[in-house]
A and B are shown apart, each in its own frame.
Chain A
């Protein structure tokens, strides 16, 4: 498959709709290094454009504080246009809520339990 990248904790690809999907592996414990690796992988497939991110965290087990701050900071805001966080399990809900509530992300960010609603919302951020 074209435009696919794999980091230690996630698989990323650019959909035909212009939205980048990031699906975490089962039981992922995301550290700062993982977040940076994932961001580097994203930059390989975004074709130089700021793109909306569809991030599935249902399988994520933890997100380190430094990783949270990294995703919420300027570096991510420079290369992506918005992020829809897909939650489902109690753990992913807690991680998602803490991310938005504590880290004050610069990117437009929102939690979704419905993938369709998430994709619909992200369409508004395709440049």
Chain B
């Protein structure tokens, strides 16, 4: 009973029975909030004494009840203040929302700071008021899934501040009943800084990967150059020493063929074999010297069709291999050293043919890249293909996948292409074939070599 609710306006006045008057006085004082009032007993063992004893006990009980209630109320107030303090002091934003209406029942200071609203303003908004309009459908679906317990966390949820700016938050939720109404407690963690850090890490990783790739390429190039340096020393002495005897042998064979014109077929056949093998050996020596000593190119303006036509004319293509050309007549001419680039395509065509011992299709295609001012000429075969692990070593000297090769052909391809201001790219799949693409500067482009 709250103090002061009942007011005693006059003291009971009962002259006929002062004990009854005292009894009523105690009762009125109780009504006025004075629970310490007590009546006296007369010791006459009367019924009125019994009633007074009962009233006194009632007073004691009420007094104790009120004191306990006050203590409980104080404890409740302190507990509420403590919980409110915790609620408002956490860095994460907290919202208590009704599951059915999605209206807010309670918000903490952090969520108000995050969103830029006062608590009373935020309480009037509801779920739809704190997310970008275009994301509401998604947010409501997430809310419903959380309310039904299907999910407990909604990561990366877009949040809209009062000023319209958007940030992202991870939301952890849990169900609770508040005043008999089903609610959802949402704990919002601003992940802006985390996202920024993740982006930074992603960029650093990407940069690191690029640097690693560059390092790998540099390492490969270094290995290539080291091998070329060794080859250069060998080629300088051995190549020169071999060329002279090969020339003598070639002249001798020519002489014998001339002198033995009437000889039988087997002698002619063996002389032909010797001649072919000498020519093969000369090619190896030439490749060796070309690989280590690339001469400066003498660029000329030359048409792609003409260049490829002349190259094919010098190649031996078995009948089992079909050559398909796709070289538009409208292409700009190249600005390259024709002898060197013919050597490049001779090597690629020769490799392509050797990769198709059972026959197949050799496709040569040229495409112009207007923006780059270049032409890409590709040689595709339908041969055995190259294993992925062999691809990075393909242009290293002395690396070969062929039984009879010495690993110089593609070194020459790369050296001569680069010397002419171009680049080589390769794609290959085992069992399906390979595609070598040579990109070269067109006539009049900025990248053409002088």
Contact = CB atoms under 8 A, between A and B. Distances in A.
Q: Is the interface of B mostly helix, strand, loop or mixed?
A: helix
Contacts of A11: none
Interface string B27-50: 000000000000001010111111
Nearest to A102: B61
A80 interface: no
A121 B19 CA distance: 38
B54 A98 contact: yes
B144 interface: no
A96 to B, nearest CB: 10
A62 B56 contact: yes
B256 interface: no
Nearest to A89: B45
A107 B292 CA distance: 113
A113 to B, nearest CB: 14
A65 B64 contact: yes
Contacts of A27: 43
Most chain A Cβ neighbours within 10 Å, of B43, B51, B64: B43
Contacts of B51: 90, 94
B60 interface: yes
B53 interface: yes
Nearest to B52: A91
Nearest to B49: A91
A90 B47 CA distance: 5
B61 A90 contact: no
Contacts of A93: 50
Contacts of A23: none
A63 to B, nearest CB: 8
A64 interface: yes
A93 B43 CA distance: 14
A30 interface: no
A85 interface: no
Interface of A: 27, 61-62, 64-65, 89-91, 93-95, 98, 102
Interface of B: 41, 43, 45-51, 53-54, 56-57, 60-61, 64
16 contacts: A27-B43, A61-B41, A61-B43, A62-B56, A64-B60, A65-B57, A65-B60, A65-B61, A89-B45, A90-B46, A91-B41, A91-B45, A94-B50, A94-B53, A95-B57, A102-B57
